[in-house]
């Protein structure tokens, strides 16, 4: 076939008259979308009807809209790509709000498609009408209401660009039902013209030079590595920066894996449940360098007592709004972290930190993470150590929110970026298991493990159906202490043991629940059983749920109480 004829056919295809629904699917595929998570309803039925004729369009039907957006979120965090989900108007759209806020707080790139009632009845309180644009304005990076089908290719292209550039985040596209059925002469959108939006700002090289000079003069520097290191793909640059400057690293929850946990100068996670070495090093440092961390309250604790000996605080971040927001900043390095560190590595010199490194190493060895093991019962810390050893730290781990989340952060060693998927900023229960499904779809050749408490697992257990039907081989861990563990711990330590509304003893039999959905279920009550059932789970090709029965009184330590400073740690049994 001649080139002119082929070009003519391509031009004819590009100028084909198709519906808005067909336009949407085509645009999503052109943006590289390889899976969409969703749940249909009346006002997105034209979109779902268009899927029938697109076998190349992969859609996963979740059992709840919140499961869909958390799965898209887990896909995005674990792959670095933009996740996509679809829901109908009204309750379908509002069921996405918690997931949108979760992604917004943690800077996760998502494109959310919602249906709406037809344009003729917008504003009349029509059946399943909800003003999702107004509801989500505070928790989206941008959102669109599509009034004209001819705008749809441009809007989809812009949405993906906005979601995935600069400080990443969710973008919502709301499409009225009639617009999704209107026809247009399709032309793909390739150009961008977004007034006032420039993505990542150009780094201030003079500020980076100031930072390099401050490092050379410092004797007790500490790096705080946050989620921005992971999201910018700057892990190798950070490793090189640490080797050049000889600065120890404390990580935030989302920074875990951005710098290898096994590195000699990794102090572990800092903050509310941080390690002794990480918290004390920050409090004694003369120079703090925050890289992609936003100084949130779980990291700083009592702000006016944070890093009291620091002569300078430097902050490297892609979002200028974060600079100085919570902690006074002396050196502001705004820009993409990967670019800033690449520039810094060309000029960086070692800090005067030899004695300091010895001091923080002594902290690590004198006050390691510890727990009192037991032969009579399964300690949750033991479970996490076992999971780390059997996977050699190579799995993608997703967590829900609570004690198990902190035990995972403490006792599973993350040496690779995007290996921890967890809700940090919003702290969303019900997130972990659906996120694991998305992570497994995005990483079909990786082992994905979902760590859950018995509380959070019941907020998303219906998604077991997807694992069974699609044979998604997620290994689902439930640490069952029959109580809302983190709430119980706080009531014990901060509310004089006045326990209120924390009992989960009436929960279902998780093994039977898994089996009811067609998923293999296993249970362990002793350490011997724990090793056996976990090995069986790993040797099983498909999805498996493993319940570990753990003591209800076990607490997460160290712990810094609210209103106190980082160095006022409660060490628990090893006080």
Which residues make beta-bridge pairs with 523? 547
If residue 452 lies in a helix (H) or strand (E), which one and from where to where? strand 448-453
Q: Are strands 170-176 and 110-116 parallel, antiparallel or unpaired?
A: parallel
Alpha-carbon distance 136 to 171, whole Å? 9
**What is the DSSP annotation of 202-221?**
PP-HHHHHHHHHHHHH-SSE
Q: Which of the following is catalytic: 81, 141, 168, 177? A: 177
The residue behind tokens 């967890």 is 422
Q: Active-site residue 241, yes or no? A: no
Q: Which of the following is catalytic: 65, 158, 385, 547? A: 65
Q: Active-site residue 177, yes or no? A: yes
Exposed/middle/buried for 381, CB within 10 Å: 0-12, 13-18, 19+? buried
**What is the DSSP annotation of 88-154?**
-STHHHHTTHHHHHHHHHTT--EEEEEEE--GGGTTTT-TT---HHHHHGGG-SEEEE---GGGHHH
> Quick one: CA dihedral 411, 438, 508, 391, positive or negative?
negative
Helices (H), 328-449: 337-347, 354-366, 380-391, 403-411, 432-442
Alpha-carbon distance 461 to 478, whole Å? 11
Q: Which of the following is catalytic: 37, 486, 489, 548? A: 486
If residue 488 lies in a helix (H) or strand (E), which one and from where to where? helix 485-494
Alpha-carbon distance 38 to 51, whole Å? 12
Q: Which of the following is catalytic: 11, 127, 553, 574? A: 127
DSSP character at residue 183: E
Alpha-carbon distance 492 to 495, whole Å? 6
Q: Active-site residue 486, yes or no? A: yes
What is the biggest distance separating any 2 CA atoms in the chain, rounded to whole angstroms? 82
Kindly provide the residue ranges of all beta strands, DSSP E only, lying in 8-96, ordered along the sequence. 17-19, 36-39, 59-61, 83-87
Q: Active-site residue 5, yes or no? A: no
CA dihedral 303, 484, 543, 94 (to 10 degrees): -70
> Quick one: CA dihedral 315, 399, 86, 119, positive or negative?
negative
Q: Active-site residue 127, yes or no? A: yes
DSSP character at residue 222: E
Cβ atoms of residues 331 and 210 within 8 Å: yes
Q: Which of the following is catalytic: 30, 128, 347, 492? A: 128
Exposed/middle/buried for 32, CB within 10 Å: 0-12, 13-18, 19+? exposed
**What is the DSSP annotation of 266-326?**
EEEE-STT--HHHHHHHHH-SEEEEES----HHHHSSGGGSSTT-SEEEEEES-GGGTTTS
Which residues are known to be catalytic?
A: 65, 127-128, 177, 486
């Amino acid at each position: 076939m001649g080139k002119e004829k082929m070009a003519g056919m391509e031009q004819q295809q590009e100028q084909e008259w198709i519906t808005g629904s067909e336009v949407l699917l085509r645009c999503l595929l052109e943006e590289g979308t390889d899976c969409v998570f969703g749940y249909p309803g009346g006002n997105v039925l034209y979109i779902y009807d268009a899927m029938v004729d697109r076998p190349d369009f992969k859609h996963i039907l979740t059992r709840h809209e919140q499961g869909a957006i958390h799965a898209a979120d887990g896909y995005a965090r674990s792959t670095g790509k933009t996740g996509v989900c679809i829901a109908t108007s009204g309750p379908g759209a509002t069921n996405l709000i918690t997931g949108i806020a979760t992604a917004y707080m943690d800077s996760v790139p998502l494109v959310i498609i919602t249906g709406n009632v037809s344009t003729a009845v917008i504003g009349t309180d029509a059946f399943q009408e909800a003003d999702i644009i107004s509801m989500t304005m505070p928790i989206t990076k941008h959102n669109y209401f599509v009034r004209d089908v001819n705008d749809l290719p441009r809007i989809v292209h812009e949405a993906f660009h906005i979601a995935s550039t600069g400080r990443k985040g969710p973008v919502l596209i709301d499409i009225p039902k009639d617009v999704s059925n209107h026809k247009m002469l399709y032309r793909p959108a390739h150009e961008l013209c977004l007034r006032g939006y420039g993505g990542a700002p150009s780094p201030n090289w003079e500020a980076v030079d100031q930072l390099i000079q401050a490092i050379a003069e410092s004797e007790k520097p500490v790096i705080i590595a946050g989620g921005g290191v992971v999201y910018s793909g700057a892990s190798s640059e950070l490793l090189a920066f640490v080797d050049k400057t000889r600065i120890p690293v404390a990580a935030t929850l989302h920074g875990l894996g951005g710098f290898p946990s096994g590195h000699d100068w990794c102090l572990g996670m800092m903050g509310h449940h941080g390690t002794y070495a990480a918290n004390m090093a920050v409090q004694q440092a003369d120079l703090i360098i925050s890289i992609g961390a936003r100084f949130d309250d779980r990291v700083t604790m009592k702000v006016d007592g944070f890093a009291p000996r620091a002569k300078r605080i430097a902050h490297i971040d892609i979002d200028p709004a974060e600079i100085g927001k919570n902690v006074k900043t002396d050196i502001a390095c705004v820009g993409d972290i990967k670019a800033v560190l690449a520039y810094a590595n060309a000029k960086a010199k070692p800090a005067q930190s030899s004695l300091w490194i010895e001091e923080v190493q002594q902290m690590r060895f004198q006050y390691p993470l510890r727990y009192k093991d037991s032969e009579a019962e399964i300690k949750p810390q033991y479970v996490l150590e076992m999971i780390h050893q059997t996977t050699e730290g190579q799995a993608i781990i997703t967590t829900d929110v609570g004690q198990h989340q902190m035990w995972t952060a403490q006792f599973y060693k993350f040496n690779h970026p995007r290996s921890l998927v967890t809700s940090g900023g919003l702290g969303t229960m019900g997130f972990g298991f659906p996120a694991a499904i998305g992570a497994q779809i995005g990483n079909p050749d990786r082992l994905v493990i979902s760590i859950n408490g018995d509380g959070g697992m019941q907020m998303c257990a219906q998604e077991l159906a997807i694992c069974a039907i699609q044979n998604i081989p997620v290994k689902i861990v439930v640490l069952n202490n029959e109580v809302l563990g983190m709430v119980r711990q706080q009531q014990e330590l901060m509310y004089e043991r006045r326990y209120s509304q924390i009992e989960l003893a009436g929960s279902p039999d998780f093994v039977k629940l898994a089996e009811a959905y067609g998923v293999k279920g296993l249970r362990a009550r002793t350490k011997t059983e724990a090793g056996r059932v976990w090995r069986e789970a790993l040797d099983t090709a498909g999805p498996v749920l493993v319940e570990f029965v753990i003591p209800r009184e076990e607490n997460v330590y160290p712990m810094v109480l609210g209103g106190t400073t980082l160095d006022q740690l409660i060490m628990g049994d090893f006080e």
